[in-house]
A and B are shown apart, each in its own frame.
Chain A
Amino acid sequence: MNAHARAASPLVRDEARLHWHDAAVWNMRTKRDRAAHAVPDWEALRDSASRIKLHTLSRLPEYLEEFERKALALGAQVHWAADAAEHNAIVLGLLRDRGVTRLVKSKSMLTEECHLNEVLEHAGIEVIDTDLGERIVQLAHEPPSHIVLPAVHKKREEIGELFHRTIGTPAGLSDPKQLTEAARQHLRQKFMASQAGLTGVNFAVAETGGLVVCTNEGNADLGVSLPPIHIACMGLEKLVPRATDLAVFLRLLARSGTGQPITTYTSHFHGPRPGGELHIVLVDNGRSALLASETHRRALCCIRCGACMNTCPVYRRSGGHSYGTTVPGPIGSVLAPAADPERHRALPFASSLCGSCSDVCPVRIDIHGQLLAWRRELDARGLTPTAKRWGVGVASWVFQRPWLYRLSGRMVRFFGRLLPAGLLRLLSGGWGRQREVPTLPASSFREQWRRRAN
């Protein structure tokens, strides 16, 4: 069993929970479909989004310099981080220099990727994730399992129990309204007491030097409009050239993610607010290496909507935690091996290559093609398991010899109909672990076809 399958097995074994998770995530896909179908120029938008992103990548250094120039002129401060460690050091340094000990954060997959929270907490800074889902997983000491719905793996009763244990709500709460209200009260105090706010960035506009942050809860805005310090952390790939490009991406983003026509709050920051500070941290952390890869650079077009997760039959039935990465699901399985091929070598195989991810991707990343390309690359680097390489080698050898293929088919049918089902399941390896082996037909497709033709 590969690492992903092993990590997925606790969920897979709990059949009721598996179906609950599957249905919950699929629900988002159906909402996405309804929203997308209501927009007549949806496919044209996807074309535009893809072409704008690919253009931006082709001129990324120029656009970054333009963005930096404009952002500085607006009074923001721009910091560059080559990797996660430098990003964390920059943020920690900013907070330390200003004596900040209480920080509120809105959702930022980048800071998850860099493991910022651990670094800040280790330095004695209280870090509060304020997105409700993020707060839930933070209180549970777990990573998010989905990039849009961080706590999609948790049941309401479990959240009630968690809140009772951690923020002192009455025992036995399970009503989402009551739980959300409790979190609102708890987090209001944290917002009021915070000395700095940190946000992610959905889009940065090169021609204006501005940032766009999207939330439904309003937590990013609350977090940066009360304390005087706003730190915005962004991957290099978040740029778009023009302000008018935002129309394309904003029409796609929320519809693809949750089926909403737009997020509740879509905030445009141009420079710090009067009397405040805005720090923009531009982070590479492997993105330049991805840009250099002709095969995989398209993955940098991702706008983190989560649609590929919601549609993926493997994600829905294995859960976000089974990927062991910040971004799970199909796009995560493309991004993770680029960062660490050895550690994440199982992920490109956590796919049926059905292509549904590519079909829903708002920026037309050929995700399933990328997964297939990764399989080839991992194999070329000797990073596929020996059993798989051996098995595929034998299969390839057989497939190239039609007589042998026909003979082995006949043998499988003969013995397959003779042996008891239990033994066949064992012989079928991982495939039979959760499935009944079907009854094998008496004759092959070729034989049946020949009879039919006569």
Chain B
Amino acid sequence: MLKLMFSNQLYLVLAQALVAAIAAMVVVLLARRRGIHLESETLVAMLRGIIQITAVGSILLLLLRAPRWTSVFLLAAMMIAAGATSARRAKNMPGAFRVSAWSIAFGSGSVIAVMTWLGVIDTAITSLVPVGSMLITNAMNTNGLALNRFRADVLAHAGEIETALALGADAKNSVSPYVQAAFESSLIPAIDSLRSLGIVWIPGLMAGMLLSGARPVYAAIYQFVVLAMIFAASGLTSLVSTLLIRDGIFTAAQQLSLQPGR
């Protein structure tokens, strides 16, 4: 229908973006009727998203002609931005940004480095940056989920944690059930993505490869490769972030510093 209304490609894309945004806002309005207020957060996120992705799309045009080493700086900047974004999910947790940035850098960075060295990811900037950004984004989401779950569990079980401390448990043991729960729950999306690959969804990367003429079986296997790398990067990130944040919520005297109402 939109294609009939707009013959100009730019206007068509803008109209498509507007319709998609309206669909998202309808959900926000439905949530509002149930007393859940996501209006400002969703609006800001959508505005940021459209501006950022348009800017990156423009930069990618320039990068096609840039030397390969520039992708290292680009990926490092993405990791820092990802750390800042997911740290917001860990409100009042000491060192959340530091923990997030290091965890994402270690989790996604080590998978990107090893896979590039092995030749699984092409070193061409047009391949390394988009695939790397997928790993970083998923690592960021996993990290956010892990920190959010850990924070909620610690606040809800402060009594149990302090009881364990009062009985002589060390800080690490007193929160170990919550570290494990945060790690497990943060990996649910990555596991479900792998499990439902090809049945529930055909990811954009595969669709893009098919459109550009790649053979379907190659496109499908490479999509699995990407999802397996996403799982590895996300798992490593969550493993590191839950361990680092665990140590950050206790003082040197093994006192729980993350307390309800403080």
Partners in one complex: no
Interface residues of A (CB under 8 A from B): none
Interface residues of B (CB under 8 A from A): none
